[in-house]
Amino acid sequence: MKLNITCIPGDGIGPEIVAQAKKVLDKVAEVYGHEMEYKDVLMGGCSIDAYGVPLTQETIDAAKSADAVLMGSIGGNTSTSPWYKLEPSKRPEAGLLGIRKALNLFANLRPAYLYPQLSEACPLKEEAAAKGFDMLIMRELTGGLYFGERFTKEVDGEMVATDTLVYKESEIRRIAIKAFEVARKRRKSVISVDKANVLDSSRLWRKVVEEVAKDYPDVTLEHMLVDNCAMQLVREPSQFDVVLTENMFGDILSDEASMITGSIGMLPSASLNDTSFGLYEPSHGSAPDIAGKDIANPIATILSAAMMLRYSFNLDKEADSIENAVRKVLEDGFRTVDLMQTSKGEGFTQVGCKAMGDAIVERIVNL
């Protein structure tokens, strides 16, 4: 099969981690007899430097003409980078939000799984880590606070900033359907997270999710307030299967979920629309402080490439082979520095970004 992939390496550690994911994909292609065709385009800070804007029409077109997009990360140090002196709509993040919207990528899947090999690295109490967890955060990605009207103006002699949180029924319904569909293929449980004790948008969210649930009698639905969810994630993460939530809550909860897997460098993501097209990126940011040092953890990006094979190309065995190889490197004791810091005990080998990529490549086999 020929796989037509547009790559957006981006800023910071982005180019390093995408290079490792490509290496792994190339090995998969060799082992399973596929052909990879990559086209690299700019987005974020590097696009600002080259073209004055974080997202060009050329990048949108290149994404649209591919079967899938593999992304690294965008953005720089928000207090020192000149990109953050620009007006907000010209900053790197605006590129990412722009492409999500332009491609209608409303469903963001962020699986947080505690590899048994990393239970030592999990910062939770031993009992919680021993039980393990395997959840999928289904984050709404093109609505809510991120895309509502916002402005700052002077009112009665002081500055007032406004951000609006808007959700339409149709936006809630389509993401809820995605959550119930994926729950059916997992442990058949959806926990919908909102702030219905305060927000109108959350009350509508709850109502629509309950309507959708009627079409899925085999899946159980529970509602949880977001503050409680943040607490439950560190108390008893094993209770979660599919976590359905709006854009901003999903942003925050997915960082929390990634940290309890041992490192923020472990969490992949898929951003999907209603077709098989998707944009795949690690859930973490561009980590400008460690960029170019060959110490970043490429695993989240490599696992994002596995999600790409599964969701955009229906290549389940190939995706399994990547996930399997990741499990093996962890089993064999390879750790990038982020994982090394949290791994207690002996028998670990600290490796850089490239060496981690190589170790995973070596373990890709035809299953």
Size of the chain in residues: 367
CB nearer ligand IPM, residue 144 or residue 298: 144
CB nearer ligand IPM, residue 106 or residue 334: 106
Residue 255 Cβ, how far from Mg ion at the closest point, in Å? 6
CB nearer Mg ion, residue 16 or residue 281: 281
CA dist., res. 233 & res. 254, Å (int): 10
CB nearer ligand IPM, residue 261 or residue 343: 261
Picked from ligand IPM, Mg ion, none, the partner binding residue 171 (CB below 5 to 8 A depending on kind) is: none
Write the interaction track for Mg ion spanning residues 225-264; mark x where CB under 5 A is met and - where it is not.
--------------------------x-------------
Q: Tokens 């406004």 correspond to what residue?
A: 162
Angle at 67 (CA atoms; ends 171, 212), nearest 5 degrees: 25
Residue 285 Cβ, how far from ligand IPM at the closest point, in Å? 6
- Residues near ligand IPM (CB under 6 A): 75, 93, 96, 251, 283, 285
Say how many residues touch Mg ion, by CB under 5 A: 1
Q: What share of the chain is helix, strand, coil (3-state, %, to 5)?
A: 45, 20, 35
Picked from Mg ion, ligand IPM, none, the partner binding residue 278 (CB below 5 to 8 A depending on kind) is: none
Q: Which residues of 307-338 are buried (b: 16+ CB within 10 A; e: fewer)?
A: bbbbbbbebeebbebbbebbebbbeeebbbbb
Residues belonging to the active site: 146, 195, 227, 251, 255
Residue 188 Cβ, how far from ligand IPM at the closest point, in Å? 27
CB nearer ligand IPM, residue 128 or residue 296: 296
Picked from Mg ion, ligand IPM, none, the partner binding residue 176 (CB below 5 to 8 A depending on kind) is: none
CB nearer ligand IPM, residue 83 or residue 180: 83
Q: Which residues of 192-217 are buried (b: 16+ CB within 10 A; e: fewer)?
A: bbbbbeeeebbebbbebbeebbeebe
Q: Are 110 and 240 in contact (CB under 8 A)?
A: no
Residue 322 Cβ, how far from ligand IPM at the closest point, in Å? 21
Q: What residues are paired with 287 via a beta bridge?
A: none
Sheet with 242-245: strands ordered across: 35-40, 2-10, 68-73, 278-280, 270-272, 107-113, 134-140, 242-245, 189-194, 220-225
Picked from ligand IPM, Mg ion, none, the partner binding residue 262 (CB below 5 to 8 A depending on kind) is: none
Closest-approach residue to Mg ion (CB)? 251
CA dist., res. 47 & res. 55, Å (int): 7
Residue 187 Cβ, how far from Mg ion at the closest point, in Å? 25
CA dist., res. 140 & res. 251, Å (int): 9
Q: Report residue 257 CA to chain centroid gap.
A: 11
Q: Are 315 and 346 in contact (CB under 8 A)?
A: no
Q: At what angle do helices 299-311 and 14-32 cross, to 10 degrees?
A: 50
Residue 308 Cβ, how far from ligand IPM at the closest point, in Å? 16
Picked from ligand IPM, Mg ion, none, the partner binding residue 96 (CB below 5 to 8 A depending on kind) is: ligand IPM
Closest-approach residue to ligand IPM (CB)? 93
For residue 104, the number of C-alpha atoms closer than 13 Å in the C-beta half-sphere is 9
Picked from Mg ion, ligand IPM, none, the partner binding residue 338 (CB below 5 to 8 A depending on kind) is: none
Write the interaction track for Mg ion spanning residues 139-178; mark x where CB under 5 A is met and - where it is not.
----------------------------------------
Picked from Mg ion, ligand IPM, none, the partner binding residue 105 (CB below 5 to 8 A depending on kind) is: none
Name the residues that contact Mg ion, by CB under 5 A: 251
